[in-house]
Structure 1
Amino acid sequence: MRRKSFGHARCPVARSLDTIGDWWTLLLVRDALRGACRFSDFQQSLGLAKNVLSTRLRKLVDDGIMRLEPSHLRPDRNEYHLTDKGRRLLVVILALRQWGQEQLFQDGEEMSEMIDTVTGAPPQPLRVLAQDGRALVPEDMSLRVTIR
């Protein structure tokens, strides 16, 4: 069954999911944020079949989230590097990571942790803030239609 496209939806969440909603896509971005750039890096990390991995990476390039560059080690091979658009997904990955840490792990359970390389401390928990700096909860917000 073919999935529905939300590429023309008025909702930014729906359009975002149309581009990055596949779980392999976010895991590939996660790995790229950690420095993976070779096809073999992604395959080793995720254990994806080569044809599936190739399709997912091609989509990330087509969507402008990654770009292909010749490898410095092997110029006959390409590497995948995040574009600025792809690097901006750090906040999405961090939000998912923080939610997962809080909601899906038991006390004492081992998990990976993202840390600041300068201080060794994890980043502050993400919060949704109003323009004046107040913390917002869902009840404080509503939607409106606007033109960009």
Structure 2
Amino acid sequence: MLILRDASLGLTRFEQFRTSLGVAPNILTRRLKALTEGGLLKKVRYSKTPPRDEYQLTEAGRDFLPVLHVIAAWGRKHNGAGKISDLIDVETGAAIEPVVVDNKTNAPLGSRALRLVMPAN
């Protein structure tokens, strides 16, 4: 999730991710491979000699970003140490508080009782 967060902030290159996350290169390589195979990132060649790739969010990766924002909002509310960051609307400059809502009713999902129903075969 932190790689996707960093990609959403404009990081694209291996060294940028490694520096930001402080993770060992072999672990970062495995995670980038998993995110690429999972369709959340795509590799794009930016240098032929030497061969170098960068990582860009795919549509699926961009669709996951609201999930990250909601998880971060939960963390800001419940981490016990106070807020670490705010999510700011670039156009208005206002802080936003992301919530997950039902697309049909616009009701926040956390405010209603729900049940999971498996589709019939």
Number of aligned positions between the proteins: 119
C-alpha separation between the residues in 2 aligned to 1:136 and 1:111?
Answer: 25
Larger strand proportion, structure 1 or 2?
A: 2
Quick one: which amino acid aligns to residue 77 of structure 2? E
Asked whether the 8 Å contact 1:130–1:136 carries over to 2, the reply is: no
Pairing 1:43–2:18 present? yes
CA 122–50 in structure 1, closer or farther in 2 if over 3 Å, else same: same
* Percent of aligned positions that are identical: 33
Does 1 or 2 have the higher relative contact order (CA < 8 Å, sep 6+)? 2
Asked whether the 8 Å contact 1:68–1:80 carries over to 2, the reply is: yes
Give the TM-score normalised by structure 2: 0.85
RMSD over equivalenced CA pairs, Å: 2.2
| Post-superposition CA distance 1:35-83 (Å, at most 9, x none) | 1100011000001100110011011111111000012xx4431000010
Secondary structure at 1:120's aligned position in 2? coil
C-alpha separation between the residues in 2 aligned to 1:62 and 1:46?
Answer: 21
Pairing 1:55–2:39 present? no
Q: Which runs of 5+ in 1 are unaligned?
A: 1-25
1:101 alignment partner, one of 47, 69, 76: 76
Quick one: which amino acid aligns to residue 115 of structure 2? S
C-alpha separation between the residues in 1 aligned to 2:109 and 2:100?
Answer: 8
| Structure 1 residue 127: Cα displacement | 3.8
Asked whether the 8 Å contact 1:69–1:81 carries over to 2, the reply is: yes
Q: Which consecutive aligned stretches of 4+ in structure 1 deviate over 6 angstroms post-superposition?
A: none
